[in-house]
Chains A and B, each alone.
Chain A
Amino acid sequence: MGLRKLWQYRSIVKEAWDQTMAVATLLCGLHVTNTYLCTLGLAYGPSMLPTFNLTGDLFLADRLSTMFGKVGRGDVVLVRSPENPRKLLAKRLLGMQGDSVTYVVDPKNSDRSETVVVPKGHVWIEGDNIYASRDSRQYGPVPYGLVEGKIFWKIWPPKEFGSLGQSRMKDPDL
């Protein structure tokens, strides 16, 4: 009598196990895609206006480009913050190692610009909205190892669905 009950439990346990394994496999697949292929992200804040809205845009970032070193000037990249390792930033890459970058130090208060050479293994990132962005102008060039992905596609809001614009136009009068 007890043996039959045990047998019934066995089939339920097996079915539960199979379904758990199926869910686990799906989550694994999602995680692998997220970490090594392509990831979804939400960008909010004023530092990348007008490319990204203040209230939040959904974007897709690919991980392969950074793994193979295929990011360059003008790309919007997903980078881990050098000031807070738990934060990810979306900024535009303006200088690779060896480049000489000229930037306006504090555009709200003065026109003073400075030039700096990006050291080996580092990149220079800036937000598109230089009036409200905390970036390499404040904390210096960022090691390439912190660049985690290249943002290539915006998926929300729907009217802005599509690839991002290329390098921002530099004002020739500056």
Chain B
Amino acid sequence: PGDTSVLAGLYGPAEAKVSKELPDRAALEVLLRPKVGLPGVLERSREQLLRQTCEAVVLGVLHPRTAISLVLQVLSDAGSLLSCCLNAACMALLDAGLPLSALFCGVTCALQPDGTILLDPTARQEQEARAILTFAIASSERKVLMATTKGSCSVEEMQQCLAAAQRAATTIFQFYRDSVRRRYSK
């Protein structure tokens, strides 16, 4: 635990290109750069997931015809990369002071062959698992913003993973609160 790290940079609201600007809301763009190599199809699909999650919380109507760019650089990957990216994205949005309607956090669950649920698996545990589920959970009433599954599992197992993830989300939101408190107390 603690070996996956992602660096997030947020730029905006800045001037958008005429082809990309939306007349009533901000155009959000996410760029995910892997540690080695060029971004491929996997990064593109993750970028779209992140983008849709962020669009659900960012109040884009306050900044029409602008572009908000979020750039994520993977520094090291030891499992649970997508939820690490989600958490980094949320902290970047918080830090920049962009208007948000809710906070969100990412939690990964791995379903092992014997049915036990592991939260925030390492790369090794991810490979051995039967299914990996990633949830983005909002801070208001712990609603689910985004869910991604790799592998197969039954509906009950998914519900159990979701409940476990919602409990874990509380810890992550407390961490956000502590970090922000430390920043503002200086």
Whether both chains belong to one complex is answered with: no
- B interface residues (Cβ-Cβ under 8 A, vs A): none
